[in-house]
């Protein structure tokens, strides 16, 4: 028999809630709205052959991201399996089962079970319990939906008008198979009354209570009372699914999760008391339950209790998936408890779950330095880093190349340095060609042979095989030998100082790949002959490192972990490669014995997915990634291990140490890039993770880890790391040769002076526009502005308090791509004062009334200044086709390279500037991202570089009274030659209106409609080739690209 019922808390009857408590209940109920949309997404994609029950509770289908879909699929799966097993158990025992969903929201568990397990549901009653308001909405949905109501017999409470008047409160709907109870879970006496009224004698029933992320919103005492009360109702089971904090509230995922629920005012009330699976086990065992088994969802993912290996692999056929680190973080922060009580159940004591941690391995302090980057600078994930030395610079720079940014895969690299910003760091434009956007690629420093970039991916189904070598002297990328098959998340290591690289594993077009390749700069990639029978399993995201090597061409190292069939592999191998014959390299693998692995802790700490690895003296240093079944704790993320013969031993764990410990935010060593620099230290840049549906965590700066022994070599504190700039790396596509323009002996081109001209009539200007070449116009009368527009005059006319939005830059060279400036709202008076002081500020005036809807017009935005500026009669064509007139004021800052789609005249009022212009056909030599009108290159510091050798620069010097005519699409950039500058820039349409893109265009630089449509056509063309093999896809797309190039030049 079950235990005696536990008494309900005193005073719960007739519970009167304050307005604040009612508001919080409403916010808790609102969490249902988001989760139900996600479950509907899972239903449609993952259960296409089942009736779409969630559809009736979701107004509009929204496809969630793969990470959200897989996370909710797992949540639904573990509950489905445990309820299914309960149904089969009560059927075997001949008992009447009652399935009670506590805080059910809009879940459709009853109808799913009635469909999936119809034979096991005979005589079973499903009961949904939630707040009365929410249950009433669900009741009405059920009554109005034949697909739901039609599955039920003996329905009561079906009267829309009178509701559940014929049912005893709190029951609002009842039938033979299904009932609804509108009840606050804090009112347990009321809940028991409802159960008794529709189920009869509770002692004759067997119950399973399901609480999927529901009672966690209750006060902890109230939630514990629910658990304790349920243990005394009779023969029962309890399935709890809710959040945990396995490594405390300061873990980056945990802090993001807690912040998310805090913002929603739906705080997780019990998570701090029960932060681990062990605490949850104690929670139930001390609340009257005979047994309790607890898994994290990450453990459940690997447990055949919930899904078989075949079922796990089949998920990839439904939806491509590569968010493994983020999935592991999510699943490690949720647990599922399955508790049992009563003689009707097969209950046996289940020991408290053990949480592996490396406590038996010594901890050694290591100095960790953190240098924050401003704003979103440096935020990228799944990139790859390298170091680069510069002549004249004291320390090397660190480059974090390509990867995933805040919104999309990036076409740039971040440059970090320890020198003062702008000092000793030359321009890096990579204008001779560069790899395309990608993530999960590799970078391997091969010494004098350069830095090898291999593979990577676009989308998870679009692995890449192209490889590039970066010349560290010329700062240029050169294509090198392709991989024999497209790969991403492969493992690569340099083989000592040989200039060779070893590549193992990776994920290709058809899943994990088990190959072994050696790279030689001249011979390309050569497959290794595997000696013996120890060929490694096909994995990707594994840890690979080289220990030693000599002149004999023999090298040795380790190969650990990786992902195999959706689980982190326990594979731990040593390898020995013989490259003495470049044409026939051989490799031998030997299973490693991990010393001190009696309980599996050592193996668990070493076999990871997505970690970075370096050699340190005679040890291997492993940083970050994710581990199997459990979350890596703060002290377990960085470990050192040594290889001796066929034995691998963890020697110590590194824990960060700082004199200002509290000032260092905890890093997330996931999606990070790391590079080893001089004096035995590691620099970690980038990194972070999407924390399920709760937001994205980004590492906000540079982490500099000083390894043991480094302080003896360089005891002085390290200089701070700064984000120098972001540099575009994709000016041209590989395989599309650029026909070189003749430039004599390949010397940098001297800028051609732009001609100066005096206009006599409006027809003279019309001829200039038709010619389409830039011209400086002299001797035009622009009104009194040239004589009068001083700082004091402008402030008097405009008003010191007039609010404007300006660019505030840290350096002279503003970069729109890197956003090395910030937008600041300030008063016009303060702005002019700061410009007069020499601050690096720039004003590009916007529409005063509707800056996001209308273009700027001087007459409307600054009516007090408008009479001073006039367009002379010779420029009547501009007046007749006017689009916008923009006031520009600046201090000592450069305007970045860009082009304007509309023709315009730049009227210099005060101060002077130097402008460099390039004809439209030079666009192929500059890094412009598709669809972008601005480039990240600093032309003024790069003009003499080899990357710009084929460009045709034109130069204009403008002084007060000069007007520069800028034809459409001419690339241009400007630098001041005086302390400050004042100008009016007037844009006008020189084409028929129908040729411009439809829709809003505030700045006058929206690309022509034909180009915007062409980009859509290109996307469709590329998509039509997706089903072809990679080589065929590349072959035909390159042919089409060359055909387009020929037509463009024909």
pLDDT digits (tens, 9 = 90+) for 796-823: 999 999 999 999 987 888 888 777 888 8
Where do we find the tokens 């009447």?
Answer: 96
Centroid of chain to Cα 691: 9
CA angle, residues 965, 966, 968, in degrees to nearest 5: 140
Most confident of 534-538, 594-598, 1029-1033: 534-538
546-550, 604-608, 959-963: which range is least confident on average?
546-550
Whole-number percent of the chain with pLDDT over 70: 89
The predicted structure's pLDDT at residue 260? 95
Is the predicted pLDDT of residue 296 greater than 50, yes or no?
yes
Is the predicted pLDDT of residue 652 greater than 50, yes or no?
yes
pLDDT digits (tens, 9 = 90+) for 772-802: 999 999 999 999 999 999 999 999 999 999 9
Q: How many residues does the chain have?
A: 1050
Order across the sheet with 397-401: list the strands: 384-388, 397-401, 412-417, 722-728
Reference 494, options 437, 426, 543, 447; nearest CA is 447
Contact (CB, 8 A) for 379 and 406? yes
Order across the sheet with 476-480: list the strands: 442-445, 451-454, 467-471, 476-480
> What values do phi and psi take at 923, rounded to 5?
-60, -30
Is the predicted pLDDT of residue 8 greater than 80, yes or no?
no
For residues 765 and 876, what is the distance between their CA atoms, to the nearest angstrom?
9
**Residues 6 or more apart from 222 whose CB is under 8 A from it?**
9, 185, 186, 215
Mean per-residue pLDDT over the chain, rounded: 88
The predicted structure's pLDDT at residue 932? 85
Where do we find the tokens 């023999």?
Answer: 554
DSSP 107-139: --HHHHHHHHTGGGGTT-EEEEEE-HHHHHHHH
| Alpha-helical regions (H) of 917-1029 | 939-942, 1009-1024
**Residues 6 or more apart from 56 whose CB is under 8 A from it?**
141, 145, 147, 148
The predicted structure's pLDDT at residue 1042? 86
Is the predicted pLDDT of residue 434 greater than 50, yes or no?
yes
Same fold for the domain at 19-341 and the one at 363-728? no
Give me 180's structure tokens. Answer: 């609804």
**Residues 6 or more apart from 51 whose CB is under 8 A from it?**
111, 115, 147
Tell the CATH topology of 758-993.
Jelly Rolls (2.60.120)
Say what angle helices 19-46 and 66-93 make with each other, to 10 degrees.
90
818 vs 281 pLDDT, higher one: 281
The predicted structure's pLDDT at residue 1019? 87
Give me 581's structure tokens. Answer: 């014959």
The predicted structure's pLDDT at residue 662? 52
pTM for the full predicted model: 0.76
The β-bridge partners of 672 are 686
pLDDT digits (tens, 9 = 90+) for 698-756: 999 999 998 876 555 454 556 899 998 888 776 443 333 333 333 344 556 689 999 99
For residues 295 and 104, what is the distance between their CA atoms, to the nearest angstrom?
22
pLDDT digits (tens, 9 = 90+) for 223-234: 999 999 999 998
For residues 477 and 665, what is the distance between their CA atoms, to the nearest angstrom?
35
The predicted structure's pLDDT at residue 707? 83
**Residues 6 or more apart from 387 whose CB is under 8 A from it?**
396, 397, 398, 399, 445, 675, 676, 677, 683
43-57, 214-228, 659-673: which range is least confident on average?
659-673
The β-bridge partners of 415 are 399, 725
pLDDT digits (tens, 9 = 90+) for 119-173: 999 999 999 999 999 999 999 999 999 999 999 999 987 776 655 667 888 999 9
What is the CATH number that goes with domain 19-341?
A: 3.40.50.150
For residues 356 and 841, what is the distance between their CA atoms, to the nearest angstrom?
55
Question: Domain 363-728 classified CATH 2.120.10.80?
Answer: yes
Where do we find the tokens 């540079």?
Answer: 702
Q: Give the residue extent of every domain in the chain.
A: 19-341, 363-728, 758-993, 1014-1049
């Amino acid at each position: 028999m079950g235990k005696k019922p536990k008494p309900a808390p005193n005073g719960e009857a007739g519970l009167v809630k304050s307005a604040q408590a009612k508001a919080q209940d409403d916010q808790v109920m609102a969490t249902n709205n988001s989760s139900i949309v996600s479950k509907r997404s899972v239903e449609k994609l993952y259960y296409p052959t089942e009736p779409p029950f969630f559809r009736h509770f979701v107004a509009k289908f929204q496809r969630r991201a793969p990470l959200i879909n897989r996370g909710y699929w797992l949540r639904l799966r573990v509950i489905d399996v445990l309820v299914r097993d309960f149904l089969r158990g009560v059927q075997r025992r001949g008992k009447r089962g009652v399935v009670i969903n506590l805080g059910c929201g809009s879940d459709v568990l009853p109808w799913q079970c009635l469909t999936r397990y119809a034979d096991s549901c005979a005589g079973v009653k499903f009961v949904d319990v939630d707040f009365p308001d929410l249950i009433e909405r669900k009741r009405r949905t059920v009554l109005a939906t034949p697909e739901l109501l039609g599955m039920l017999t003996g329905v009561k409470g079906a009267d829309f008008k009178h509701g559940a008047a014929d049912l005893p409160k709190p029951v609002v709907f009842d039938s033979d198979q299904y009932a609804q109870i509108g009840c606050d879970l804090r009112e347990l006496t009321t809940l028991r009354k409802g159960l008794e009224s529709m189920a009869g004698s509770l002692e004759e029933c067997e119950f399973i209570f399901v609480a999927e992320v529901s009672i966690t919103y209750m006060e902890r005492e109230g939630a514990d009372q629910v658990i304790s009360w349920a243990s005394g109702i009779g023969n029962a089971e309890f399935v709890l699914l809710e959040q945990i904090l396995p490594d405390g509230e300061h873990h980056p995922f945990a802090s993001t999760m807690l912040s998310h629920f805090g913002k929603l005012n739906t705080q997780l009330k019990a998570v701090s008391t029960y932060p681990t699976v062990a605490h949850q086990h104690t929670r139930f065992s001390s609340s009257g339950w005979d047994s309790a088994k607890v898994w994290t969802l990450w453990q459940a993912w690997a447990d055949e209790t919930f899904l078989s290996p075949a079922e796990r692999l089949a998920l990839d056929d439904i939806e491509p998936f590569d968010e493994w680190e983020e999935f592991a973080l999510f699943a490690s922060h949720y647990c599922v408890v399955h508790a049992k009580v009563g003689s009707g159940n097969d209950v046996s004591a289940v020991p408290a779950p053990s949480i592996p941690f490396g406590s038996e391995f010594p901890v050694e302090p290591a100095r960790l330095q953190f240098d924050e980057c401003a704003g979103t600078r440096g935020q990228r994930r799944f990139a790859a880093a390298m170091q680069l030395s510069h002549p004249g610079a004291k320390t090397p720079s660190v480059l974090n190349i390509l990867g995933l940014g805040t919104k999309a895969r990036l076409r740039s690299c971040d440059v970090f340095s320890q020198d003062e910003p702008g000092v000793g760091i030359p321009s890096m434009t990579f204008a001779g060609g560069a790899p395309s956007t990608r993530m999960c690629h590799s970078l391997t420093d091969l010494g004098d042979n350069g830095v090898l970039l291999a593979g990577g991916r676009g989308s998870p189904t679009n692995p890449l095989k192209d490889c590039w070598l970066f010349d560290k002297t010329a700062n240029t990328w050169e294509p090198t030998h392709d991989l024999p098959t497209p790969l991403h998340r492969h493992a690569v290591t340099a083989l000592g100082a040989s200039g060779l690289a070893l590549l193992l594993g990776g994920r290709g077009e058809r899943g994990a790949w088990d190959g072994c390749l050696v790279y030689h700069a001249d011979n390309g990639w050569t497959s290794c002959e595997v000696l013996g029978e120890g060929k490694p399993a096909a994995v990707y995201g594994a840890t690979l490192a080289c220990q030693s090597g000599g002149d004999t061409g023999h090298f040795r190292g380790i190969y650990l972990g990786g992902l195999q069939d959706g689980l982190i592999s326990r594979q731990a191998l040593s390898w020995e490669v013989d490259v003495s014959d470049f044409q026939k390299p051989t490799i031998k693998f030997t299973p490693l014995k991990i010393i001190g692995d009696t309980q599996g802790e050592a193996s668990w700490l070493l076999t990871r997915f997505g970690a970075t690895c370096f050699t340190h003296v005679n040890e291997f240093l492993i940083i970050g990634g994710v581990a199997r079944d459990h979350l890596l704790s703060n002290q377990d993320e960085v470990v050192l291990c040594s290889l001796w013969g066929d034995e691998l031993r963890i020697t110590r764990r590194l824990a960060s140490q700082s004199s200002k410990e509290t000032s260092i935010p905890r890093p997330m060593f996931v999606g990070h890039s790391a590079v080893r620099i001089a004096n035995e230290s590691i620099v970690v840049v980038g990194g972070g993770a999407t924390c399920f549906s709760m937001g994205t965590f980004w590492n906000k700066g540079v982490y500099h880890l000083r390894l043991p022994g480094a302080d003896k070599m360089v005891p002085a504190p390290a200089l701070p790391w700064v984000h120098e700039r972001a540099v575009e790396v994709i000016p041209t596509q590989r395989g599309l040769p650029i026909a070189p323009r003749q430039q004599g002996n390949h010397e940098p081109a001297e800028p051609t002076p732009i001609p100066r001209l005096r206009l006599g009539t409006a027809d003279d200007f019309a001829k200039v526009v038709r010619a389409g070449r830039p011209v400086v116009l002299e001797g035009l009368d622009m009104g009194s502005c040239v004589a009068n527009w001083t700082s004091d005059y402008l402030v008097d006319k405009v008003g010191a308090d007039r609010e404007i939005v300006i660019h505030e830059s840290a350096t002279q060279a503003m970069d729109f791509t890197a956003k090395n400036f910030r937008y600041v709202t300030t008063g016009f008076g303060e702005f002019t004062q700061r410009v007069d002081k020499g601050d690096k500020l720039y004003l590009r005036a916007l529409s005063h009334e509707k800056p996001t809807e209308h273009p700027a017009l001087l007459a409307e935005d600054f009516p007090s200044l408008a009479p001073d500026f006039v367009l002379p009669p010779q420029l009547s064509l501009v007046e007749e086709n006017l689009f916008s007139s923009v006031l520009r004021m600046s201090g000592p800052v450069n305007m970045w390279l860009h082009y304007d789609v509309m023709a315009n005249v730049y009227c210099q009022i005060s101060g002077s500037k130097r402008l460099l212009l390039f004809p439209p056909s030079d666009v192929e030599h500059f890094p412009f991202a598709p669809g972008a009108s601005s480039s990240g290159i600093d032309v003024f510091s790069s003009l003499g570089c080899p990357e710009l050798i084929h460009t045709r620069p034109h130069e204009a010097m403008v002084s007060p009274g000069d007007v520069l005519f800028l034809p459409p699409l001419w690339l241009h950039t400007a630098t001041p030659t005086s302390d400050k500058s004042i100008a009016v820039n007037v844009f006008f349409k020189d084409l028929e209106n129908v040729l411009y893109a439809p829709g809003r265009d505030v700045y006058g630089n929206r690309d022509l409609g034909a180009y915007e449509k062409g980009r859509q056509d290109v996307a469709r063309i590329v998509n039509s080739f997706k089903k072809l093999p990679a080589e065929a896809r590349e072959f035909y797309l390159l042919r089409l690209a060359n055909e387009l190039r020929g037509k463009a030049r024909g």
